[in-house]
A and B are shown apart, each in its own frame.
Chain A
């Protein structure tokens, strides 16, 4: 019932708001960038709505339970990405007149192979990001409603692909902007209610954490996945079929689907690869990735990956192309920093409260559900149910808004960059891509969503971030250099992913650099681009192509008085690149 009341309104409102955005569409530009008529305020709300995915709505609070207060560095990096975007990318990229990131690469460097490579990179990033969104939609719905996993996945896919195929970017813009306000309210109001009704004892423990060593009350733990527990003392538990048995000290494997009830006062077993929440390391405001003992390096690695990765996320970059001009794109980025800053004040509240009220989630690895599990712990009556419903609705809105943007870049990459086609093919690609993602998401219920999204950020940071930064600020960049750099970034992160999955266990700082490769893969990509570019010669028009990105759009076609002719209508021969080159040479002397 909760699931119905939470999901049905979100789905209906999404479709209704999407319908409002349906307008006559003739060109790919209408479909992909809403005819470039989106004002900065609406656009920044849409950027924030798209960006606040399940990882922000549920994930950060879950990470606080699992890894400690240091997990609050993730939102800092997420927001810092928009400051970097504002400073380095937003306005010049919009002025290139491109529609997608591969389009930008071609407009700046005139290389079709680079465009295809960039399109493939878009598909990799979007795949890594989209599959976890659909998976979490399925999981949250199945947890709340008790229904099967695939239902949630299919509902998400149908709503997203119908909205997009009918309304394109304009519908996506209205839906995302609306869902940002929706999510903001549904995140802040329950947080305040939780703080007020949790009682002074819980509030006191939230800021004076004690290590989670003994169960405070009879605690049922649902193991959705197979987990190996490290039991230090004999522990008597009750299984779901009523059987009571004692676990001997040592390792104990719990099958997936089991529910064990730990009695009050029982010692908490350990979980392989994690410290219990609430300990001294948990309280440190730094991120000790992989428990490697280098918290500073771990924090920096996460900040670098999230900040530079945000700058290279194709679905976010595409939103900036919907601004009418470069200045509006820059304002969009600036407003987004403020909007995200407001939202990210609250994950810490959920995280610290969840550590007190539902610390057992870390045993089953289901910390992602901490936010949704909180209200029923505070109030078992109607109020708790209402707030669980509100939070589920917010989480579902988070999946929808993010999936809309991602599915649109997938469609753009396939039928605008890889196999250019018209509007009809774009609409069809949206539906086909959604079906493909559903097929990918069905077997991946066991995957760790956070890990996949982090990989998506890392790939973006080590491919598109150097491509955009050097393309906009360095006139000597050549197409071979850009191709080599993007390929090096892709291969580097792919190597790290393979090493994480299949490689031997490593420890110390090496473990951080394997799990979070951004600190070396981003410099590798930048270095390769610069080195290969310096080996070649940039084409004659290269400086002009870069300078044009920084020039303000002519807003009026009033002829400039001092030159006596209308720049907007000057003939092609007057714009010869040799003339531009001559002037640039004279200026740089």
Chain B
């Protein structure tokens, strides 16, 4: 017997419990501390309004650009560096605009959360 043999130190009950197949535990309703509710409601409302604005901007961009292109067929014949403007618009407009919306919304959403750092009293508390 080697001197460094490792020995199980858990109780036989624990080892038995580990050996058995574990079934999922009963579901418990999620917890929210009553002291945090004010903060949660404030963050939820702030995030909801900001999300609505960002989503509105995205839909105006995505639903509006096809309308512009279909109402202005002359854009097919105007050219930038030899490429039709309407083709350029399909690549050069939506991607930078989406990056801008994403960055803008990220900053605003994080600012809402920064206000609720632990230790800062919420407006209701």
Report A's interface with B, CB cutoff 8 A. 69, 72-73, 76-77, 79-80, 82-84, 86-88, 91, 106-107, 110, 204, 207, 283-286, 295-296, 299-300, 303, 307, 327, 330-331, 333-334, 337-338, 341, 344-345, 348, 420, 422, 473, 539, 541, 544-548, 550-552, 554-556, 558, 560-563, 567, 570, 572, 574-577, 579-580, 582-584, 587
Query: Are B119 and A558 touching (Cβ within 8 A)?
Result: yes
Contact with A along B21-46 (1 / 0, CB 8 A): 11010010111111111111101100
Given contacts A541-B30, A547-B37, contact A83 B102 (CB under 8 A): yes
Docked pose: A572 CA to B124 CA in angstroms: 23
Query: Are B105 and A570 touching (Cβ within 8 A)?
Result: no
A580 / chain B contacts, CB cutoff of 8 Å: 32, 34, 37
Q: Who on chain A is nearest to B124 by CB?
A: A587
CB<8 Å pairs between A and B, sample of 26: A82-B102, A83-B102, A86-B106, A207-B82, A283-B84, A285-B69, A295-B66, A299-B66, A327-B113, A338-B99, A341-B95, A348-B90, A348-B91, A422-B21, A473-B48, A473-B51, A539-B29, A545-B29, A562-B121, A570-B35, A572-B31, A575-B31, A575-B32, A577-B32, A582-B34, A587-B37
A552 / chain B contacts, CB cutoff of 8 Å: 43, 113, 116-117
For the residues of A in contact with B, the DSSP-based class is helix
Docked pose: A82 CA to B103 CA in angstroms: 12
Docked pose: A286 CA to B86 CA in angstroms: 10
One of B43, B51, B63, B102 near A333 (C-beta < 8 A): B102
Query: Are A283 and B76 touching (Cβ within 8 A)?
Result: yes
Query: Are A583 and B121 touching (Cβ within 8 A)?
Result: no
Docked pose: A204 CA to B84 CA in angstroms: 12
Docked pose: A300 CA to B70 CA in angstroms: 12
Docked pose: A547 CA to B116 CA in angstroms: 14
B55 in the interface (beta carbon within 8 A): yes
B101 in the interface (beta carbon within 8 A): yes
B17 in the interface (beta carbon within 8 A): no
Query: Are B91 and A345 touching (Cβ within 8 A)?
Result: yes
Q: Who on chain B is nearest to A283 by CB?
A: B76
Docked pose: A88 CA to B124 CA in angstroms: 26
Report B's interface with A, CB cutoff 8 A. 21-22, 24, 27, 29-41, 43-44, 47-48, 51, 54-55, 58, 62-63, 66-67, 69-70, 73, 76, 79, 82-84, 86-87, 89-91, 94-96, 98-99, 101-103, 105-106, 109-110, 113, 116-119, 121, 124-125
For the residues of B in contact with A, the DSSP-based class is helix
Docked pose: A110 CA to B79 CA in angstroms: 57
Docked pose: A115 CA to B106 CA in angstroms: 31
Query: Are B67 and A337 touching (Cβ within 8 A)?
Result: no
B63 / chain A contacts, CB cutoff of 8 Å: 300, 303
B41 / chain A contacts, CB cutoff of 8 Å: 547, 584, 587
Query: Are B29 and A541 touching (Cβ within 8 A)?
Result: yes
